[in-house]
Amino acid sequence: MQAVHHHVRQRILKAPAGAVFVPMDFLDLAGRAAIDQALSRMVRAGALERLARGLYHVPRINAALGVAVPPDPDQIAQAIGRRTNSRVVASEAVIANRAGLTTQVPAQPVYLTDGRSRTVAIGKRVFRFRHVSPKRLPQGDAAVAHAMQIVQYAIDHDVADKVLTLLAEALTRTQRSALLRQARYTDAKTAAIARQLVNAPKGPARG
C-alpha cells in the first residue's frame, strides 16, 4: 500500500497546480480500492481537494491575494469525460466567446460529448453535457477540436471570413490539415471552410 501511495503521490506532484483527477487516471498503478485509499490519504494530508465523489483537484493559491483559485471548468469537464469514457469539448458558443467572436457569455458551461446528455453539479457550478455525433468531436489535438467548434459557429452565424482569418493565425499547417481530414466526415459547409483554411496564406510556418 505504501508503494501505491508513493506512485500516486509522485504522479500528482508532477501535475500542474489546479489539475483535476479521477481514480481511473491511476488504474495503471493498482486496483481501484488501493487507488481510492491513496487519494483519500492525500485529501487528509491537504495535497488534494475532493470536488465531488470520485473527482479531485490539486489546490492552487493566488500568491498575490492569498486565496484559493477554483479549478478550471475545462479541467473538470475533461475529468468527467475520462470518468465516463467519453470525449468532451467545449461547445461552439463557449469557444467563440473565448476567441473573441462574441461577447455573449453562456450562463452555464456547455460541453459537447459522444456520451449521454446530462447535467452535473460540482459544488456551485453546473455543467451541461450535450450529446452530439462523434464526427463533431475530432480526436487528438485539442486545438483542432476547438477549431471545429469555431467553424460550426461560423456556419451558424455567417462569419466565415472572420473565422478563416482567426484560425489561419492560430493553427499550424499540420493542425489545419488535421482539421480538413476530420471535416470531410462532417458536412459540406464545414469541409468547404476547412479547405479554404488549408489554402490560406497566413499562419505560422511551423509544423
For 6, 38, 40, 156, the CA distances from 10, given in Å and listed in that order, are: 6, 12, 15, 46
pLDDT in tens, 17-30: 789 999 999 999 99
* Average pLDDT taken over every residue of the chain: 88
> Is the confidence at residue 61, as pLDDT, over 50?
yes
Residue 202 binned pLDDT confidence (cut-offs 50, 70, 90): low
Going from the C-alpha of 32 to that of each of 15, 29, 105, 184, the distances in angstroms are 20, 9, 39, 40
Question: Is the separation of the CB atoms in 76 and 51 below 8 Å?
Answer: yes
Q: Is the pLDDT confidence value at 35 over 60?
A: yes
- Are 98 and 105 within 8 A, CB to CB? no
Can you give the pLDDT at residue 206? 45
pLDDT exceeds 60 at position 207 = no
Eight-state DSSP code of residue 2: H
Q: How confident is the model at residue 38 (pLDDT cuts 50, 70, 90)?
A: very high
More confident residue, 138 or 184: 184
Give me the pLDDT at residue 143, please: 87
Higher-confidence position of 119 and 107: 119
Q: Which single residue is written with the C-alpha cell 462574441? A: 102
Domain 2-68 class?
mainly alpha
Q: Where are the domains positioned within the chain?
A: 2-68, 73-90+105-134, 136-199
The confidence score (pLDDT) of residue 41 equals: 93
Span 131-165, pLDDT tens digits: 998 888 877 788 888 899 999 888 888 888 888 88
Q: How far apart are CA 110 and CA 93, in angstroms?
A: 8
User: Is residue 87 pLDDT above 50, yes or no?
Assistant: yes
Task: Give the integer Cα–Cα distance in Å for 160 and 154.
Answer: 5
What band does 1 get if pLDDT is binned at 50, 70 and 90? Answer: low
Predicted pLDDT at 205: 44
Type of residue found at 148: M
